[in-house]
Amino acid sequence: MGICIIYLMIVLIAFGVFELKNNKVCFKYEFMDKQFTKVMKGIAITMVFFSHVGNANNVRLFAPLGGGCNFLISSGYGLNESAKKGFQAKRFWIKRITTVIVPYFLTRVIMVPFMSTITFKAFLLDVFCLKPQYILGWYLSYIMFWYIIFFMIQMLPGKYRKYDIIIC
């Protein structure tokens, strides 16, 4: 566990979340501001990357630190804060399609020749995150589910939106 804490400290310093001045820790950002959550998502992605590399080589590396969970929490928080400034449904879905679905679709198209057998129906279910064809596909299905829930909550009239935590 100590090595994980040391790694996290190194990553935090490398990403510039805080700096050491006169033997005191000074944060460069306000807690949970946009820049801070971007840095935290970067750290989470780094943790997930090393976890996947480790898993591919039969080594459990940073898996217990929950990089995926940290990324989801930071992303959800960012979505919520952005929606407070004004939610635009069309803009929301265009961004999700261009940053999540299209890259995933292109990656899966490239991978089709390497898949043993896949039907067109299975391929469509895979690229639309409804029934992933590989073990790590659960993540995109999960995040798409929460995008839909978030969208539906944002479409509620304002007086009902305060109950969103109960819905989730």
Q: From residue 110, how far is each of 6, 80, 104, 123, 144 by CA, in Å?
A: 38, 34, 10, 12, 21
Q: Residues 42-63: what's their mean pLDDT?
A: 75
**74/8: higher pLDDT:** 74
Tell me what pLDDT residue 17 has.
58
**Run of H or E residues at 26:** strand 24-27
Largest CA distance in the chain: 62
33-50 pLDDT tens trace: 777 777 778 878 888 888
- Contact (Cβ atoms closer than 8 angstroms) between residue 10 and residue 46: no
Distance CA 43, CA 65 (A): 11
**116/152: higher pLDDT:** 152
The distance from CA 127 to its chain's CA centroid, rounded to whole angstroms, is 17
Distance CA 19, CA 40 (A): 15
Distance CA 63, CA 165 (A): 28
Q: Residues 107-131: what's their mean pLDDT?
A: 82
